[in-house]
Amino acid sequence: MINKQLVSPKSIVVVGASNDVCKPGGKILKNLIDGNFSGNLYAINLKEDLVQGIKSYKDINKLPNVDLAVIAIAAKYCPATVDFLVNNKTTKAFIIISAGFGEENEQGAKYEQQIVDTINKVNGCLIGPNCIGVLNTNYNGIFTTPIPKLSPKGVDLISGSGATAVFIMETALPKGLTFNSVYSVGNSAQMGVEEVLQYLDQTYNPETSSQVKLLYIEDISKPQKLLKHASSLINKGCKIAAIKSGSSEAGSRAASSHTGALASPDVAVDALFRKAGIVRCYGREELVTVASIFKHKQLTGKNIALITHAGGPAVMLTDSLSKGGLNIPHIHGEKANQLLEKLYDGSSVANPIDFLATGTAQQLADIIDYCENDFDNIDAMVVIFGSPGLTKVFDVYEVLHQKMKTCKKPIYPVLPSTFETKEEIFAFQNQGHQSFNDEVILGDMLCKVFNTPKPQNDNIELIDIDTKKIREIVENAGTGYISPKNIQALFDAVGIPRTKEAVAKTKNEAVVYAKELGLPVVMKVIGPVHKSDVGGVVLNVKTEKMVELQFEQMMQIKDTTSILIQPMLSGIEIYAGAKKEGEFGHQILCGLGGIFIEVFKDVSSALAPVSHNEAMEMIKSLKSYKIIEGTRGKEGINEQMFADVVVRLSALVKAAPEIIEMDINPLLGTATKIIAVDARIRL
């Protein structure tokens, strides 16, 4: 576990400390010195008594007891060093920045394991190996620069990649973003992103803890842990944004069902983030922009006022916000006219509020006051204000500073002249503000933040299913695709409504069943997996004679063992499916069915277990939702019943985790009922 020796050590030793600040062991010592670490700082260098002015021990035996060891020596010397420190110097926390471990070869992996075992024995903590280290308000334990401004109100960054952590800090600096802590977990031999997040969750204090967490993850090895602690933190009032890179590998997978093809591991990441309430980003600029948005007052509504002295950026921002579902409402009426009076001729207050290139600081103050106090249809303001180089804009940014302090509505400052108004931006940020330099990235990210759902409650409603029966069927069904009979039995046990059907092995049986079920009927081959592709589905068979004829013909189709007979039903074709995604558990999907799913691939997904509310959200977020609702006089389908099928599907895979993938395609839905007519389940 992360411990107090790591977070706030009383003493630190740098093993492999150097006078050469171009070496990791030299730079990390320099950073610790520059950061004015207030505890005892020691060095181990086999040749020196003093390294960068810090006492160095040639003989490690002479080293006093020490809380935290930062190790920058060759991998092969690390296990013995750790062992010595643990057993002789009461050291409980380690940061190993050296590489040459599991990421390199088998021998390295052995060293890594040895070190973890040693540290675990004393319940100690290990960050790395193969990382840049740890940085917090107590000490600068990283061997890289820049060192950002540190403050308890800054953000916490946990990164699976050291270099990326450095570049995220580079991106953050010009925005005025400060940091509370940075953890670079490297090989995550003992502590990974999930464990650090767990620690931040368990030690969270609403008064003193940072409320913004940023994650860079290449591999989610413990998705359930991530989900648990991310949603817990967000429920406590935190905000989390994350990059999960490596999303394209999934596409190449061969899959035998619709669900298999649609539900990639990356869709599972999306589903996990949605369930946890994490804002998903795809690059550093996005991540840092979202973090800066998080640092502003909460956006509580969709209506944004754009305030600018430059038309173009406001138009681009309007496009971006509208595309993402936020509004730029028209501003008019008596108050608007009053405001217009205060501006120069040619200004506009209709929104965007354009107060021209000659606009003054006082005019900006007036505009903000009207938006804050008089325009009820405004929830937030974006102020875009740069300089074409004719005048300084300190007075304008001072107005921004004052108004951002006092206004209840969030004000997002876009300061585009990052070169020309460098000094003014610096002064503005030094007052504790974050600013944005690109209005479109801000617009896109504002929409993203606004549209990210709250964490899903894990209170899943209990529904009536026959678990005993489900287990019995699954345990006796073998592996691979299961028979229509077993599917029927599973659906009945879990309460998914299905069509009546019968399996005919002879022509006579076919006629008898067709009469029982009621003509017209549908006839389908049993054997081939994709029935339509081999001409194995015949709809609307109206007479006994036709049943006989079709039976004879269909039995000739390759791999056909018998014929399934169903009544001919009508309704809108919908789809629901599930797929197991390793440690993530099952993904549940739904959408329109039949050919829609193949052509438009319009599905929504969620991680099981899915609540009724979540299922309703899934349905409503479909692009084809209008069809489900009913459109242009055409009756839709019963959404509550559709959601119920999705919830029951989720309950089925919980009771039968052996299900690797399954799809029900289609279910035929009307305003009064939903009935499954085709399903595949693979165990």
- Residues near ligand ADP (CB under 6 A): 499, 522, 524, 530-532, 537, 539, 566, 568-569, 573, 594, 665-666, 677-678
Contacts 24+ apart (CB under 8 A), 197-202: 197/158, 197/225, 197/226, 197/229, 197/230, 197/233, 198/225, 198/229, 199/1, 199/2, 200/156, 200/229, 200/233, 201/229, 201/232, 201/233, 201/236
Nearer to ligand ADP, 1 or 255 (CB): 255
CB of 129 to ligand ADP, least distance (A): 51
- In 3-state terms the chain splits into helix, strand, coil percentages (rounded to 5) of 40, 20, 40
CB of 658 to Mg ion, least distance (A): 22
DSSP class per residue in 163-215: HHHHHHHHHHGGGT--EEEEEE-TT-SS--HHHHHHHHHHT--TTTS-SEEEE
Among Mg ion, ligand ADP, none, the one that 569 touches (CB under a kind-dependent 5 to 8 A) is ligand ADP
Could you tell me which of 362, 380, 363 has the C-alpha nearest to residue 371?
A: 380
CB of 665 to Mg ion, least distance (A): 4
CB of 530 to ligand ADP, least distance (A): 5
d(CA 226, CA 193): 8
Among Mg ion, ligand ADP, none, the one that 356 touches (CB under a kind-dependent 5 to 8 A) is none
Nearer to ligand ADP, 99 or 676 (CB): 676
Cis upstream peptide for 64 (omega within 30°): no
Among ligand ADP, Mg ion, none, the one that 499 touches (CB under a kind-dependent 5 to 8 A) is ligand ADP
In the chain, the N- to C-terminal Cα span, in Å, equals 38
Among ligand ADP, Mg ion, none, the one that 549 touches (CB under a kind-dependent 5 to 8 A) is none
CB of 643 to ligand ADP, least distance (A): 21
What burial letters (b/e) apply to 95-123, b meaning 16+ CB within 10 Å?
Answer: bbbbbbbbeeeeebeebbeebbebbeeee
Could you tell me which of 4, 290, 28, 291 has the C-alpha nearest to residue 143?
A: 28
Among ligand ADP, Mg ion, none, the one that 519 touches (CB under a kind-dependent 5 to 8 A) is none
Record the tokens describing residue 440, joined without a space.
Answer: 């479109």
d(CA 24, CA 156): 23
Nearer to Mg ion, 345 or 533 (CB): 533
d(CA 645, CA 576): 8
d(CA 233, CA 211): 9
CB of 575 to ligand ADP, least distance (A): 9
Write out the residues near Mg ion by the rule CB under 5 A.
Answer: 665, 678
User: Which residues have C-beta within 8 Å of that of residue 332, sequence separation ≥ 6?
Assistant: 350
> Burial level of 454, CB count in 10 A (0-12/13-18/19+)?
exposed
CB of 475 to ligand ADP, least distance (A): 27
Among ligand ADP, Mg ion, none, the one that 594 touches (CB under a kind-dependent 5 to 8 A) is ligand ADP
Nearer to Mg ion, 25 or 577 (CB): 577
Nearer to Mg ion, 320 or 665 (CB): 665
Among Mg ion, ligand ADP, none, the one that 532 touches (CB under a kind-dependent 5 to 8 A) is ligand ADP
d(CA 211, CA 213): 7
d(CA 680, CA 572): 19
Among ligand ADP, Mg ion, none, the one that 524 touches (CB under a kind-dependent 5 to 8 A) is ligand ADP
Q: Nearest residue by C-beta to Mg ion?
A: 678
Among Mg ion, ligand ADP, none, the one that 27 touches (CB under a kind-dependent 5 to 8 A) is none
CB of 136 to Mg ion, least distance (A): 56
Cβ neighbours around 672 below 10 Å, total: 10
Nearer to Mg ion, 171 or 665 (CB): 665
Among ligand ADP, Mg ion, none, the one that 522 touches (CB under a kind-dependent 5 to 8 A) is ligand ADP
Kind of pairing between the strands at 50-51 and 603-607: unpaired
Nearer to ligand ADP, 501 or 639 (CB): 501
Phi, psi of 97 (to 5 degrees): -90, -15
Nearer to Mg ion, 127 or 564 (CB): 564
Nearer to ligand ADP, 236 or 530 (CB): 530
* Token pair 């890289």: residue: 144
CB of 576 to ligand ADP, least distance (A): 13
Among Mg ion, ligand ADP, none, the one that 530 touches (CB under a kind-dependent 5 to 8 A) is ligand ADP
CB of 486 to Mg ion, least distance (A): 17
Query: Rounded to the nearest 5 degrees, what angle is found at the Cα of 188, between the Cα atoms of 182 and 189?
Result: 135
CB of 378 to Mg ion, least distance (A): 50
Among ligand ADP, Mg ion, none, the one that 316 touches (CB under a kind-dependent 5 to 8 A) is none
Beta bridge partners of 279: 241
Phi, psi of 652 (to 5 degrees): -65, -45
CB of 676 to ligand ADP, least distance (A): 10
Nearer to ligand ADP, 268 or 676 (CB): 676
Nearer to ligand ADP, 363 or 665 (CB): 665
Record the tokens describing residue 317, joined without a space.
Answer: 């921002």
Nearer to Mg ion, 656 or 676 (CB): 676
